[in-house]
Structure 1
């Protein structure tokens, strides 16, 4: 079997020596490129990031940047590794539920700090070092349960999808821009009014009942930490049921 070759961007992130490239030797670490790109994205969104702007942020030419990253997709890999960093250690003596809850809350907080992450195209599972730290932390939460390796991976993905989904729904809130937030609230109110006109109780009784209770108005603008926890508890209750089945 032939030796597996890592893309150049991953070789650099992992500190592995790849083939020498012609021209001057690198003058800074690839993580500095990631940090510069993250600063641009935090300030202006993902659309503010380009190879030329990152190069300017570093005081380099665009061509110089290509000594480190071959494409914008490579740049995204470096940005994601830099934006989240490694997860904070969690007490291994805690039960699986407390550990994965801490992981989910840390992931949620990371997305709140860097909401542009939700717009980064995802073409393959993570392979960068800090992103694998996050995967390891999530999977290790289930290490003392009867879940199979496949169960553990599916459970981790379920929690990941829940956190990303709620963050996506509350993306307007995460910007911190009051004008955008008020526009989102107005859009929600208009949506609720139109929905009330169309979702009559005889045809859509569940929708109508939620409308009557005010649960479908201002959802993303007023989504709270308590509501996040309620949804997460439902997800974790499902995983608990799987754990109980695996015990039998």
Structure 2
């Protein structure tokens, strides 16, 4: 790879892919980009994304802040390394014969990563993160859709739809996971019952009376319902493509 091509990748990105390591001579460095990413993940998990800094990561690793700049050019590089470590390798196992259960497994693993590391949802997305692990996730999703008859653009769009659903659902359920929402008789449903005028809001009153506003499974039913609806739409598109 020539210098012009190297310039396309930030230093941290190149290290994640092992490009700079292949070019470097001399003794093996005491620190790796994966060490840095893992330390940053631990800080964000324990203290939140706002607490993250290059100096805090360096201290956690027992190095100076300046030494980290041998591996990352900026905090943006650091965030990429964090995402690579937080998601880890794409989900292994699971059903791999039919696209739908395969993609359900992919979505469930995606959701699990976001629940473990909710700070991921606070990171602005400028473009799809080009790291080895996340590229592996993309490849896994495309493999699930490989034999569906969808075009390459439709496969990518289907994965984006599934990703947007998973991220949105986790973010919404996280917002609902507040002390007020867990107050039982003083929670959302009880407060709604206190103020609701059935004549003005008849359909909401019916939903309330059915118990639909009282979530006691952490949003699991909501996740399943929404995911099935998303996959049903993709399934319908696949049927149209197969029918020609």
User: Which TM bucket (shorter chain)?
Assistant: 0.7 to 0.9
Moved more, 145-154 or 206-215: 206-215
Distance 1:125 1:112 in 2: 20
- Cα deviation, 1:49-105, whole Å, max 9, x if unaligned, reads 111110100011112212221222211100000011112334675100011011011
Residues 1:209 and 2:211 aligned together? no
Distance 2:35 2:70 in 1: 13
3-state SS of 1:107 partner: helix
- The number of residue pairs the alignment matches comes to 236
Change (3 A) 1:208 1:119: same
Change (3 A) 1:192 1:184: closer
Distance 1:141 1:29 in 2: 32
- Residue 206 of structure 1 and its aligned partner are, at CA, apart by 4.0
- Residue 228 of structure 1 and its aligned partner are, at CA, apart by 1.9
- Alignment equivalent of 2:58, drawn from 51, 55, 60: 55
TM-score (norm 1): 0.82
- Residue 215 of structure 1 and its aligned partner are, at CA, apart by 2.5
3-state SS of 1:56 partner: helix
Distance 1:187 1:68 in 2: 50
Change (3 A) 1:101 1:230: same
Match in the other structure for 1:82: 85
Match in the other structure for 2:138: 135
Residues 1:168 and 2:163 aligned together? no
TM-score (norm 2): 0.83
Change (3 A) 1:244 1:201: farther
Change (3 A) 1:155 1:203: farther
Distance 2:202 2:125 in 1: 37
Distance 2:51 2:145 in 1: 39
Aligned pairs for 1:102-121 (under 5 A) are: 102-121=105-124
Change (3 A) 1:87 1:169: same
Change (3 A) 1:242 1:200: farther
Distance 1:170 1:193 in 2: 19
* Structure 2: stretches of 5+ with no match in the other structure: none
* Structure 1: stretches of 5+ with no match in the other structure: 174-179
Residues 1:231 and 2:234 aligned together? no
The answer to whether the Cα contact below 8 Å between 1:26 and 1:67 also exists between their aligned partners in 2 is no
Change (3 A) 1:45 1:203: same
Q: CA RMSD in A?
A: 3.0
